[in-house]
Chain A
Amino acid sequence: MSGVRLDKIVKSYGSTVAVNDVSLDIREGEFLTLLGPSGCGKTTTLRLISGFIQPTSGAIHFGNKDVTGIAPQHRQIGMVFQDYALFPHLTVSENISFGLVERRYEKVAIKKRVGELLALIKLEEAADRYPSEISGGQAQRVAVARAVAHPPSVLLMDEPLGALDLKLRETMQAELRRIQQELGITAVYVTHDQSEAMNMSDRIVVMNEGIIEQIGSPRGIYSNPQSVFVANFIGQVNVLNCKVTGIKENITNLDYNGQNIRAQHERSLRQGTNIFLAIRPEDIKITEKAIRNPQNTLKGVVSEALFSGNVMKISVELESGDYIKVECQPKANSFELGSPVQVNWLPEDCNILLN
């Protein structure tokens, strides 16, 4: 087992660049997720690590070993595919033992290891069934067991839960995470589902158009997105176009449509700079009457109110014509369409983004 290092990886097909100068340090035992919309280069990156495709330039290391140019069968990887790719002509236990046979394990050792893995994925009773005779969730667990039977340097998973329904997907997220932690294996996971990435990962790599937008823990990326793209991709966000008017200590004063907005921000910005102000819907409070001591308050009217069980999703049309999304407890108020309201938020819930 080892970490994985990508060093200035470029992969281009003719004139299109699928992965553009990606450097990445995957720590040993870490669960790392490559997240992004389709075509962002996440699957290409995974296939580069697996060795099914070779980079146009750059190098890949497993631990201290340079594996660039080495064929996948010599890389000691474990691979889990979206559609499982179980061998249809082999039983569950034969599928799991496939790699062990290739690695010349003794018969007794194979039997023992397959038994352990069947216990790990809780599928002892399905050992002699064929892939066509088990459910999607079971097939997925078999695919994982097969991939880790001979402990790989890194476990690579390409949208492995994409074919499952929502309920099962959530159970399997926990299951995959449990297996990965029990084995202490380095794992790289590809998905376009941000909630899946949030639930499972130690760190998330947000990719877009072949480059890395941001790397960080789920919490860090959610609360401190560094670009409008990341803010939008991870959860819901309101983005307002503002101009910097002045800086006092760690508070940046902004002008939005003639109104002053105070935002907490570490880096110093030049006066007059145009920036994007990002605020999460759940950080915004909505009231019908003016509040005392108002700061960061905007007026508007309710343009949409959706009740979705645990939250109320309200859309407010501001005086500027922009819309702002708010999430609040449903018990608070019913907020009828067209009624005048005020929205406000704290300076520390503001995120100033430059791009």
Chain B
Amino acid sequence: MQTWTEKVILFVWCGFSYVFLLSPMVVVMGASLHGGEFSAAIKFPPDEPSFQWYSKIPTEQFEALALSLLVAAVATFIAALIAIPAALGLVRSNFKLKFAITSVFRAPLQIPAIVSGIAFLQLYYLIFDTSGLMLAGTIPGMLLGHVFIATPFLFGTIVAVLQRFDHRLEEASYSLGAGRWRTLYRVTLPTIMPGIYSGGLYAFMVSFADVPMSIFLTAPGFVTYPVELFYAMENDFDPSILASSSIVIVFCLAMLLVVQKVVGLETLLRSGGGSAR
């Protein structure tokens, strides 16, 4: 049984943690409802609450949001296509270069994103000089960079799940007459699915939120959402930025709820997303 003091300590500790984690979001969402005169400073709590700034969000931000969602989704998908076979192969094989190749797959986590951004830009210029093909400011160019930073997250979670995988499940499948491909399809993939989901969620988020690398791969009229917000904050701040941020916060919470409903957040957390690092 918890004593009275333990309960108080638990309550205060958890209370502080929640305030600390949630207050920035509450402030942003609250201030987005500012209804008074234009102000370059955040007003919280808002005067005369209204949704006026929501109608003043510039269309570029919506276009950027659409681009970001597309890039994040496609990059996550491609990263999964790379990470699943890579993790399966590396966890189960025993060849000499296993550890070297494993660290190659984790390397993008060690490189600051801004360095990766510069590197990709340099690479694209080089490709342009030799072949006349310009990748910077294009969807393939952007995707390449995002796949690069997203793959380690999927790779890491899938490796973590596979290391705890009970190989007897596959033996049981073989003994029941299923061949290698059937076993992969009916046993292995479904069993590691929670790891794929959680890794995919991290990968999507990392790609969706990336500024330092994406900022090098944008072009006029081709800007991802966080970069667009970054520019907007620098150049001409107004509460419409808060409004558009609030929409994204609500969107992200909704997505978490959907994932929770579909796979269960507990499975996600248990599959050890943290060990990606």
Task: Tell me if B172 counts as interface (CB < 8 A to partner A).
Answer: yes
* Cβ-defined contact, A81 with B171, below 8 A: yes
Task: Tell me if B177 counts as interface (CB < 8 A to partner A).
Answer: yes
* Cβ-defined contact, B175 with A102, below 8 A: no
Task: Tell me if B179 counts as interface (CB < 8 A to partner A).
Answer: yes
The minimal Cβ–Cβ distance linking A26 to chain B, given in whole angstroms, is 17
Task: Tell me if B187 counts as interface (CB < 8 A to partner A).
Answer: yes
> How many residues of chain A get a CB closer than 8 Å to chain B's CBs?
26
Task: Tell me if A218 counts as interface (CB < 8 A to partner B).
Answer: no
Interface of chain B, main secondary structure: helix
Inter-chain contacts of B190 with A (CB < 8 A): 87, 89
Inter-chain contacts of B187 with A (CB < 8 A): 87
The minimal Cβ–Cβ distance linking A84 to chain B, given in whole angstroms, is 9
* Cβ-defined contact, B171 with A85, below 8 A: yes
Task: Tell me if A72 counts as interface (CB < 8 A to partner B).
Answer: yes
* Cβ-defined contact, B173 with A77, below 8 A: no
Task: Tell me if B129 counts as interface (CB < 8 A to partner A).
Answer: no
Task: Tell me if A220 counts as interface (CB < 8 A to partner B).
Answer: no
| B172 nearest CB neighbor, chain A only | A85
Interface membership of chain A positions 29-56, coded 1 if the CB is closer than 8 angstroms to chain B and 0 otherwise: 0000000000000000000001010000
Given contacts A73-B179, A98-B186, A102-B177, contact A87 B166 (CB under 8 A): no
8 Å CB interface, B154-188 against A = 166, 168-169, 171-179, 182, 186-187
| B183 nearest CB neighbor, chain A only | A73
8 Å CB interface, A82-96 against B = 83, 85-89
Question: Which of the listed residues A50, A71, A81, A86 has the most CB atoms from chain B within 10 Å of its own CB?
Answer: A81
| A52 nearest CB neighbor, chain B only | B171
Given contacts A71-B174, A73-B177, A77-B175, contact A83 B168 (CB under 8 A): yes
| C-alpha gap A71/B174 in the complex (Å) | 8
8 Å CB interface, A131-180 against B = 146-147, 149-150, 156
* Cβ-defined contact, A98 with B175, below 8 A: no
Interface membership of chain B positions 184-203, coded 1 if the CB is closer than 8 angstroms to chain A and 0 otherwise: 00110011010000000000
Inter-chain contacts of A79 with B (CB < 8 A): 171-172, 175
Interface size class of B (residues with CB under 8 A): 10 to 19
| C-alpha gap A73/B182 in the complex (Å) | 11
Task: Tell me if A78 counts as interface (CB < 8 A to partner B).
Answer: yes
Task: Tell me if A103 counts as interface (CB < 8 A to partner B).
Answer: yes
Inter-chain contacts of A81 with B (CB < 8 A): 168, 171-172
Task: Tell me if A216 counts as interface (CB < 8 A to partner B).
Answer: no
| C-alpha gap A102/B175 in the complex (Å) | 11
Question: Which of the listed residues B166, B169, B172, B175 has the most CB atoms from chain A within 10 Å of its own CB?
Answer: B175
| A82 nearest CB neighbor, chain B only | B168
* Cβ-defined contact, A50 with B166, below 8 A: no
From B168, B169, B174, B182, give the contact of A72 (CB < 8 A): B174
The minimal Cβ–Cβ distance linking B165 to chain A, given in whole angstroms, is 11
| C-alpha gap A88/B190 in the complex (Å) | 9
| C-alpha gap A98/B190 in the complex (Å) | 14
Inter-chain contacts of A146 with B (CB < 8 A): 172, 176
From A85, A87, A103, give the contact of B177 (CB < 8 A): A103
* Cβ-defined contact, B191 with A73, below 8 A: no
Q: Could you name 20 residue pairs across A and B whose Cβ atoms are closer than 8 Å?
A: A50-B175, A52-B171, A52-B174, A72-B174, A72-B175, A73-B174, A73-B179, A76-B177, A81-B168, A81-B172, A85-B168, A86-B172, A87-B173, A89-B191, A98-B176, A98-B178, A99-B178, A102-B178, A147-B176, A156-B175
